[in-house]
């Protein structure tokens, strides 16, 4: 009795193993996306429309996403959603494939400023997903009169005794330090970088520094009182606030005057995606006017989709989703680095982290 049971168990397991390898067939779409960035209802709708299954995987930072692709991920995901400054390096390393615009009828729905972006001229490889900003989140009880400035993070006299976090993605933290020092958020100058790295190092070594934290977890930390200042994204902030209004009553989002980040996340197809056909269908589905609006309404990020505009909730047309004109002037893209500049940056950043 026992023996037959064992044998059945083994065979069952064997079958499951086979099944799990065989499943990577035509009817599954593998989506590799940021956390808290997709409306489950959209996934359901897509699954129903094309009678397929969507398997979602998540990343918290772009370096994490990039390393997964490097480690064999190019043949495991159908759609990835990187940000603007990683797009050129994904193209250059051959980790992604060109989009077939014939299969993307809804590409014309995009706003004019997203039709031909600098990071990917003509959207040859990418289709914009959402755009947003990265700013400071802080506890308004602790800092009732917080300056609209990076000094909240970098000036010890402004915040002498409360825990704060910096961004885990080095380029954003570095940009913030650059902006505070007056070199502008998008600095790439060697001297400016060195100065910024030194500032980050000094800041990190303050007693009240509580760690390098990615954007979404930073909000959780503030909610739990683990830190009082951090860096996060406008849409995630609103999303969390909507989920837990009580806690987020005393947490605010702010774009420093010295300049901050604006970003675009775009959908791309890895070079050896198991199912590029379905990937194109998915991208086109997201670019649909109503689906695009549904997505923005769900995750509180601004839509690059012109046709979606009539369907958008009111909150999406005002700050912080749609930054004020003044803020808009101060927003910059994070520079896309390559070659020696990337190498230099990585050395500086690893110095900051390890010292």
Partner 1 sequence: MRKRTLQRSLTGFWWLTLFFLYVPLLVVVVFSFNAANSAASFTGVSLRWYRRLLGNEQILSAFANSMILAIVSSIVALVIGCLIGYGMYRHRHRKLGWLIALIYLPIVLPDIVFGISEMAFFVQINRLTGVLGPGLLTMIISHVTFQIPFVALIVYSRFVGLDPTLFEAAKDLYATPWQRARFFMLPTIKPALISAFFLSFTLSIDDFVISFFTAGPESATLPIYIWGAIKKGVSPEINAIATLMIGAVAIAAVLSLMFNRQGRR
Partner 2 sequence: MAYSGVLPSARSQAMVAEARHLLMTVAPGAIWIFVFLVLPSFYLMGVAFMTNGTYGLPEMPLSLESFKRLAGFGFLGWSPGNLYTLLRSLWQTVVSTGLVVLIAYPIAYYITTCREKWRPIMLLLVVVPSWTNQVIRTFGWMNLLAPGTPLAELGQLVGLVPENMGLYPSNFAVTLGLVYNFLPFMVLPLYAAFEKLDHAQVQAAQDLYASPVRAFWHAVFPQTLPGLLAGTVLVAIPAFGMYVIPELLGGGKGMMLGNLVANQFSGGSNWPLGAAGAILMLIATFVGLYAMRRIGKRLGGGEEVVI
At 63, phi and psi to the nearest 5?
Answer: -55, -40
CA 225 from centre of chain: 23
Selected range binding partner 1 among 66-74, 301-309, 321-329, 337-345, rule: CB under 8 A: 66-74
C-beta closer to partner 2: residue 8 or 70 = 70
Under the binding rule (CB under 8 A), the answer on residue 225 touching partner 1 is: yes
Residue 188, contacted partner among partner 1, partner 2, none, CB below 5-8 A by kind? none
CB of 252 to partner 2, least distance (A): 19
Q: Count of CB atoms within 10 A of residue 312's CB?
A: 19
C-beta closer to partner 2: residue 45 or 226 = 226
Binding to partner 2 (CB under 8 A): which residues in 164-183? 166
Tokens linked to 162 = 């409360």
Nearest to 349 by CA among 123, 176, 229, 159: 176
Which residues lie below 8 Å from residue 91, measured CB to CB, with a gap of 6+?
120, 125
Q: Which residues pair with 32 in a beta bridge?
A: 57, 80
Which residue in 216, 294, 296, 334 binds partner 1 (CB under 8 A)?
Answer: 216
Which residue in 42, 54, 66, 73 binds partner 1 (CB under 8 A)?
Answer: 73
Under the binding rule (CB under 8 A), the answer on residue 28 touching partner 2 is: no
Which residues lie below 8 Å from residue 342, measured CB to CB, with a gap of 6+?
89
Under the binding rule (CB under 8 A), the answer on residue 25 touching partner 2 is: no
Under the binding rule (CB under 8 A), the answer on residue 219 touching partner 1 is: yes
Binding to partner 2 (CB under 8 A): which residues in 184-213? 204, 207-212
C-beta closer to partner 2: residue 133 or 171 = 171
Strand pairing category for 260-267 and 127-139: antiparallel
In the block, residue with structure tokens 């004019």: 112
CB of 124 to partner 1, least distance (A): 25
Residues 230, 165: contact at Cβ < 8 Å? Answer: yes
Which residue in 17, 41, 190, 342 binds partner 1 (CB under 8 A)?
Answer: 17
CA 320 – CA 130 distance, rounded (Å): 14
In the block, residue with structure tokens 């500049």: 341
CA 267 – CA 32 distance, rounded (Å): 10
Residues 128, 304: contact at Cβ < 8 Å? Answer: yes
Selected range binding partner 2 among 12-20, 218-226, 263-271, 282-290, rule: CB under 8 A: 218-226
Under the binding rule (CB under 8 A), the answer on residue 47 touching partner 1 is: no
C-beta closer to partner 2: residue 70 or 75 = 70
Which residues lie below 8 Å from residue 126, measured CB to CB, with a gap of 6+?
87, 96, 99, 119, 120, 266, 267, 268
Under the binding rule (CB under 8 A), the answer on residue 75 touching partner 1 is: yes
Q: Which helix (H) or strand (E) holds 97?
A: strand 96-97
Binding site for partner 2 (CB under 8 A): 63-64, 66-67, 70-71, 89, 92-93, 161-163, 166, 204, 207-212, 224-226, 228, 338-339, 342-344, 346-348, 350-351, 353-355
Binding site for partner 1 (CB under 8 A): 9-10, 13, 16-17, 20-21, 23, 30, 32, 35-36, 55, 57-58, 60, 70-73, 75-77, 214, 216-221, 223-226, 244, 247
């Amino acid at each position: 009795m026992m023996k037959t049971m064992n044998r059945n168990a083994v065979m069952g397991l064997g079958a499951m193993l086979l099944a799990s390898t065989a499943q990577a067939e035509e009817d599954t779409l593998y989506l590799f996306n940021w956390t808290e960035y997709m409306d489950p209802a959209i996934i359901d709708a897509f699954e129903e429309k094309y009678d397929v299954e969507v398997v979602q995987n998540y990343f918290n930072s772009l370096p994490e996403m990039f390393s997964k692709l490097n480690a064999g991920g190019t043949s495991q995901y159908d759609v990835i959603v990187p940000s603007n400054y990683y797009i050129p390096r994904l193209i250059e390393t051959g980790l992604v494939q060109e989009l077939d615009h014939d299969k993307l009828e809804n590409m014309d729905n995009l706003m004019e400023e997203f039709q031909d972006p600098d990071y990917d001229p003509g959207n040859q490889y990418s289709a914009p997903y959402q755009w947003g900003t990265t700013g400071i989140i802080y506890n308004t009880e602790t800092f009732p009169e917080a300056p609209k400035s990076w000094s909240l993070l970098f000036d010890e006299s402004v915040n002498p005794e409360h825990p704060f976090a910096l961004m885990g993605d080095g380029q954003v933290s570095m940009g913030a330090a650059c902006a505070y020092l007056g070199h502008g958020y998008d600095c790439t100058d060697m001297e400016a970088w060195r100065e910024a790295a030194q500032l980050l190092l000094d800041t990190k070594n303050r007693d009240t520094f509580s760690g390098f934290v990615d954007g979404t977890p930073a909000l959780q930390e503030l909610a739990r009182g683990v830190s009082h200042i951090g860096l996060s994204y406008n849409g995630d902030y609103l999303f969390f606030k909507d989920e837990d209004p009580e806690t987020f009553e005393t947490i605010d989002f702010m774009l420093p005057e010295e300049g901050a980040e604006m970003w675009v996340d775009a959908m791309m197809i890895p070079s050896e995606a198991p199912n590029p056909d379905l990937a194109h269908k998915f991208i086109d589905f997201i670019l649909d006017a109503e689906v695009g609006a549904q997505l923005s309404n769900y995750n509180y990020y601004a839509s690059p989709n012109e046709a979606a505009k009539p369907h958008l909730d009111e909150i999406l047309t005002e700050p912080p989703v749609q930054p004020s004109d003044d803020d808009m002037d101060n927003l910059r893209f994070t520079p896309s680095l390559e070659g020696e500049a990337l190498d230099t940056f990585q050395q500086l950043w690893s110095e900051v982290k390890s010292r």
